[in-house]
């Protein structure tokens, strides 16, 4: 894992998954997304998430899901590993910070 800097101009992506699977102990889990569906700056991706009526309906209906933020670097999508990525990106979006460092894989 390495750290990468994200600013308001960084190209990011986001996706959610509702695909269940079993882990090695037989417990079920929701698989994390492997690549983003919504792509753009933090502002545009946040707006796309808010405007996605299917996601909003699914979320308000109590469906289990797993979501993940991604960062585009060197023509590759890197998954952001920080569990609080959404909250920290919101702080960046709201102007609390100029840049934030995240762990990526």
Residue 38, pLDDT score: 97
C-alpha pair distances (Å), 61 with each of 19, 64, 69, 90: 16, 9, 22, 24
Those residues with Cβ within 8 angstroms of residue 63's Cβ, 6 or more apart along the chain or in another chain: 18
User: How far apart are alpha carbons 36 and 67 in whole angstroms?
Assistant: 10
Per residue in 64-104, pLDDT (tens digit) is 999 999 999 999 999 998 888 888 888 887 877 788 788 88
Length of the chain counted residue by residue: 105
Per residue in 28-55, pLDDT (tens digit) is 999 999 999 999 999 999 999 999 999 9
């Amino acid at each position: 894992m390495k750290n990468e800097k994200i600013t308001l101009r960084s190209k990011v992506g986001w996706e959610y998954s509702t695909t269940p699977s079993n882990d090695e102990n037989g417990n079920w889990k929701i698989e994390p997304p492997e690549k983003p569906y919504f792509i753009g700056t933090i502002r545009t991706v946040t707006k796309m998430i808010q405007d996605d009526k299917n996601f909003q309906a699914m979320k308000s209906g109590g469906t289990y899901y797993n979501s993940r933020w991604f960062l585009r670097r060197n023509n590759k999508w890197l998954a952001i590993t920080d569990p609080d990525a959404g909250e920290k990106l919101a702080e960046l979006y709201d102007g609390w910070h100029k840049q934030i460092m995240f762990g990526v894989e």
